[in-house]
Amino acid sequence: MATKAPNLECRMYEAKLPEVDTPVMIRVNNIGDVCTYVSLLEYNNIEGMILLSDLSRRRVRSVGSLIKVGRIEPAMVLRVNPEKGYIDLSKRRLSEGDIQACEERYSKSKLVHSIMQHVAQTANVDLEDLYIHVGWPLYRKYSHAFEAFKLIVNDPDSILNSLTRELKEIGPGGKEVTKVVPAISEEVKDVLVKDIRRRMTPQPLNIRAEIEMKCFQFDGVLHIKEAMRKAEAAGTKECPVRIKLVAPPLYVLHAQTLDKEQGISILNKAVAACTTEIEHHKGKLTVKEAPRAVSEREDKRLAEHMAKLYRENTEVSGDEESEEDDTGLGDVDVESRSSQMTE
List, for residues 5-24, the tens digit of each pLDDT value. Answer: 788 999 999 999 999 999 99
* Topology at the third CATH level for domain 23-93: OB fold (Dihydrolipoamide Acetyltransferase, E2P) (2.40.50)
List, for residues 217-259, the tens digit of each pLDDT value. Answer: 989 999 999 999 999 999 998 899 999 998 889 999 999 998 8
Q: How many CA atoms lie within 13 A of 104 on its CB side?
A: 8
Alpha-carbon torsion angle 69, 71, 77, 81, nearest 10:
40
Give the pLDDT of residue 294. 86
* Topology at the third CATH level for domain 105-200: DNA polymerase; domain 1 (1.10.150)
Residue ranges covered by each domain of the chain:
23-93, 105-200, 205-328
Residues 6+ apart with CB under 8 A from 244: 251, 252, 254, 306
For the whole prediction, is pTM greater than 0.75?
A: no
3-state DSSP assignment of residue 329: strand
Q: Average pLDDT for residues 13-37, to the nearest whole number?
A: 93
Q: Which residue has the higher pLDDT, 315 or 76?
A: 76
List, for residues 305-324, the tens digit of each pLDDT value. Answer: 667 766 766 665 554 444 44
Q: Strands, E, within the chain: which ranges?
A: 23-31, 35-40, 46-51, 72-81, 86-90, 164-170, 176-182, 205-214, 241-247, 250-257, 284-294
State the architecture of 205-328 in CATH terms: 2-Layer Sandwich (3.30)
User: Chain-centre distance of CA 314, in angstroms?
Assistant: 39
pLDDT at 116 exceeding the cut of 60: yes
Q: Average pLDDT for residues 199-210, to the nearest whole number?
A: 89
List, for residues 165-177, the tens digit of each pLDDT value. Answer: 888 877 777 787 7
Do the domains at 23-93 and 105-200 have one common CATH topology?
no
For residue 342, name the pLDDT band (cuts at 50, 70, 90): very low
Q: What is the CA radius of gyration of the chain?
A: 32
Contact present, 21 and 56 (Cβ < 8 Å): no
Give the pLDDT of residue 204. 85
